[in-house]
Structure 1
Amino acid sequence: MEWKRSAFDWNQARAFLVTAEEGSLSAAARALGLTQPTLSRQVAGLEEALGVTLFERTSRALLLTQSGVKLLADFRTMGDAANNISLAATGQSQAVTGHVLISATDLMARYLLPPVLKKLRRTAPDLQIEIIASNELSDLRRREADIAVRHSRPNDAALFAKRLHDKKAHLFASKEYLDEVGRPETLADLEKLTFVGFDQPELRLGLMASRGVNLTTANFNFSTSSATLALELVRQGFGIGLLPTEISEHCPELENPYSEFEPISIETWLVAHRELKTNLRIRVVFDLLAEGIG
């Protein structure tokens, strides 16, 4: 296989890499911010330049051919090298201007970030701040975010992580709901009530059981992958939710339905790429987030 140096096009290489990792042209196009026809042309251009077929196109998905599988590891190495060059170049910048991308859960972004951003606006008014409010983890090595607020410690040695004060989560329900069903006086009373699930309810059963609350999926009449929607459902009387105590302070209509429930500790980490930590604008934002959230 021969590929002339002058024919190399990093956009085509990146198109192949992201398409292979996402599994479809539509998902890869969204990840790269391209139209699907543009991405398809880039992949086809790479196949033509290499003289191989990289994907088997079926009605349901794209499948890597043998040639595609063999080349994928090399292209991943190439992608990591490109990211490292970008990180190193970004790390040299000492101006408190430019773009900073922050990733946080939707609930934290809604309630905890705005006060920090107000202070940041006064401290560095020329920064452009973009926020990804999602419960999905952003890949900092691939520059999906510059700084991430996470609830678990990263294992990647290339990342710098600072542990902030742990948050506490407790049971909360609206006064309206508790007026309707009655306030539980025992665990048995609590186990008869309706709960609002965040993510998959079955993942919470063991956690609740460790606090002596034996629930089943039948207790969860409503569940969602959005923490902000879960909070809104609790506020509107759909059931009991497990919520960070700091968030509940913004919602006076909520109360603790069972004070003897043992609060759950939630780790909170602030994470950035190590090289980005030497960048002044990243450091300014990182330190303010650590102070404000911590």
Structure 2
Amino acid sequence: MHKCMNWKAINFDWNQVRSFLATAEEGSFSAAARVLEQTQPTVGRQVAALEMALGITLFERVGKSLNLTTAGAELLLHVREMADVANRISLTATSQSQAVEGQVRITASDVMSAYQLPPILKKIRLAAPRLEIDIVAANDIRDIQRREADIAIRHVRPTQPDLTAKLVAEATAHFYAAPSYLDQVGRPKNEGELAKLDFVGFGDIDTMIGFLDPAGIKVTRKSFRVGSQSGIVSWELVRQGFGICVMSDDVAALTPGVERVLPDREPFKFPIWLATHSELHTARRIRLVFDQLADQLSAGTIR
């Protein structure tokens, strides 16, 4: 049996609570540290301090994993309620602000963050020089409702409730490679010849195979001998001659040292969605950045 928690006697440190919540949801101190952008020892110390303040054990270590104790699972329910309330307070306060200053967090893929957003941010800074822009470069989908970002740029339509979403563009993509690589292996004339060449992997290889197969590119796992979870790293590997990958034509236009492969082939097409919380959309600074992103991400405006 765990000790009964005297809630009135406890002065919560919200940083400790956030570390506990992230660890419970991510399953380890290291994963929680990545989400919180802190070090693993810091997260571990904060959870240990919370355990000491409460006088209970929150996690049991099983191999390399952390499992919630009964007391930890009970606390997690309350902490999630606290986080939801805190997020609602933050959303309400932000939505009332009419000042074009303060922080706006934008989340996008690492490739878009590195190549496409900088020229757009220059224009936003001219329009609103007192804004503080924080780019969350992430290839997973961040939660706007939990204020992991204020505005999200996504390639799938957001389905969460209470979000304002806008389809701003339909982008195109082709196969690209370095001229030095194509000089070495030859320039393919059709999908069959293309499938025999080296591909640079990005993310899950089986997912990439599933994407290419319906397009007539019959590749296997052996086709992907080098790759990365990072889109930026994968694209740099392509630029340095390791093989071929599919890339947005907008990004390729901003990248020296790459050549379109099968240039006459029909392009891949994918949507670009902007999303923000419906309450945040009423805040002047969020609306300004949202509208600027929508205008600049429209076809042909970022080159």
Q: TM over 0.5, yes or no?
A: yes
Shift of 1:82: 1.1
| Alignment: residue pair count | 294
Distance 1:43 1:194, change over 3 A: closer
Query: In the alignment, is residue 7 of structure 1 matched against residue 20 of structure 2?
Result: no
Contact 2:174 2:261 in 1 (8 A): no
Matched residue type, 1:144: E
Shift of 1:35: 6.0
CA deviation string 1:97-150 (max 9, x = no partner): 111111111111122111211111110011111112221222212221111111
SS at match of 2:60: strand
Within the candidate set 65, 68, 92, 1:64 is matched to: 68
RMSD: 2.2
Deviates more, 1:59-68 or 1:262-271: 59-68
Identity %: 48
Gap regions ≥5 residues in structure 2: 299-303
Partner of 2:23: 19
**2:33 & 2:226 partners in 1: Cα distance?**
33
Deviates more, 1:282-291 or 1:135-144: 135-144
**1:120 & 1:67 partners in 2: Cα distance?**
48
Distance 1:51 1:221, change over 3 A: closer
Gap regions ≥5 residues in structure 1: none
Query: In the alignment, is residue 196 of structure 1 matched against residue 197 of structure 2?
Result: no
**2:147 & 2:121 partners in 1: Cα distance?**
21
Partner of 1:185: 189
**1:61 & 1:193 partners in 2: Cα distance?**
40
Shift of 1:281: 0.8
**2:254 & 2:290 partners in 1: Cα distance?**
25
Shift of 1:55: 1.7
Matched residue type, 2:188: P
Superposed counterparts of 1:97-246, under 5 Å = 97-246=101-250
**1:227 & 1:49 partners in 2: Cα distance?**
42
Contact 2:239 2:258 in 1 (8 A): yes
SS at match of 1:283: helix
Q: TM-score, normalised by structure 2?
A: 0.88
**1:40 & 1:220 partners in 2: Cα distance?**
37
**1:270 & 1:167 partners in 2: Cα distance?**
13
Distance 1:175 1:151, change over 3 A: same
